[in-house]
Amino acid sequence: MAYYYSEPSHTFAEYLLVPGYSSAECIPANVSLKTPLVKYRKGVEEPAISMNIPMVSAIMQAVSDDKMAIALAKEGGVSFIYGSQTVEQQAEMIRRVKNYKAGFVTSDSNLRPDQTLADVLELKERLGHSTVAVTADGTATGKLLGIVTSRDYRISRMSPDEKVETFMTPLEKLITAPEGTSLKEANDIIWDHKLNALPIVKADGSLSSFVFRKDYDQHKENPLELLDADKRYIVGAGINTRDYETRVPALVEAGVDVLCIDSSEGFSEWQARTIAYIREKYGDTVKVGAGNVVDGEGFRFLAEAGADFIKIGIGGGSICITRETKGIGRGQATAVIEVTKARDEYFKETGIYVPICSDGGIVLDYHITLALAMGCDFCMLGRYFSRFDESPTNKVMVNGNYMKEYWGEGSARARNWQRYDMGGAAKLSFVEGVDCYVPYAGSLHDNVALTLSKVRSTMCNCGALSIPELQDKAKLTLVSSVSIIEGGAHDVVVKDQTQSR
């Protein structure tokens, strides 16, 4: 006879935090969101890798590439660059993150001189950048011929067919700096000459990077940026249980800081084999997370297999239809609560603290705080990060609104059969994810700052100044469907915001 759970599983939206006593010290500025990323002997040693914020970006084509990894590391979190690409492509993304110098930006808006104003406008519309490099071959590393900014053209007085070379600011009129210039020296040049952008040029005349005036202030605003011992950004990568013997060495050689097995269901021999290979070849020097699981038994299996952190969640992502297609999964809140209990029991037995990650089910910002209060150490988010400028997808206009493309790794578009592999045919037999749009939300920096300000404020309401203190003091209550309605605006006519200004 099948085993039946006595209670239904619940989602984050079914819970609220009950406020606790807040001392005068409980102000958001005093809250620390530092959290461990990998296992360690709690009370004896410090984690090999900790994060300054409890957020990581999902292992998805539509979310995590090198650009996202750099942007999130600046805020104190970690991106796991997607593995559903060739080993060489993924390793190259890792290298770009590790070789990135804070403040030196590789140009992603580039045109040839024979292209047109229409191309400039299309590039600006698609990427949102007003500075366009003009290079001989239209690449980010081609010979620099000039730049185009919004001051170089007037749409109302120029033809869309006008060539870039006729209105660009040519190289001889630009102030540039040679490769090897320090960031301080570059910023001094920018301020001395009142520039918005300074091209960094190699000895052969090719473009190396840009330093932007706006990044000076942003760099000062990122005191939580996550760096390794060599002052390089920390970056993660997704792997699968099929080609790990080829992929893992290439990623390690490229400088990856932490790996994570990307699988829809982690309670399997395939994951144990993958972890065993990494431990045999690298010992504990290579960190690897595993998952996903939704109960204590699954957690125990992966912890004993040697996972450095464990992901929780099956079927809760906004683009995931695993529950619909296969009837497999569990409410995310219940899964987090049960796995937390298993994690704490494992710690009492072994002295090893294995961090857990809530993956999926985050719809509203406060769900992050709930997940942390329930016991997880950090959250993995896909839809959340897919909305930002830094995600690798296109920004498109849909019914008069800007949207970003977003698709699941189990969708026909991703064709990531390895993520759903159970040792059978090397193909995606049916889809477990959808292809969709999400509302465009602007920059990652602005949105993450707002989200975390809400998390810190709620923690203060609970009398907590750290994540462990929140987990110790939190009081949670289930809510009824009627009280959920009560929690939002109700029994009023909400004014249209555009009319109320």
Q: Residue 258's closest CA among 289, 227, 283?
A: 289
Give yes or no for a contact between 114 and 164, defined as CB atoms under 8 angstroms apart: yes
320 in active site: yes
Mark whether 419 is an active-site residue.
yes
> Quick check: 316 and 285 in contact, CB under 8 A?
no
CB 288 within 8 A of CB 278: yes
Is residue 458 within a helix (H) or strand (E), and if so which, with residue range?
Answer: helix 444-461
Say how far residue 363 (Cα) sits from the centre of its chain: 15
Cα 290 from Cα 274, distance rounded (Å): 10
The amino acid that residue 123 corresponds to is L
Among the listed residues 260, 320, 376, 379, the single catalytic one is 320
Q: What's the CA gap between 64 and 60, in Å, rounded?
A: 6
The whole-angstrom separation of Cα 274 and Cα 338 is 25
Closest CA to 128 of 396, 465, 369: 396
The catalytic residue among 96, 247, 419, 456 is 419
- Whole-angstrom distance, CA of residue 260 vs CA of residue 356: 12
Distance CA 66, CA 341 (A): 35
User: Which residues, 6+ apart, have CB-to-CB distance to 285 below 8 Å?
Assistant: none
For the annotated catalytic residues, the residue numbers are 320, 419
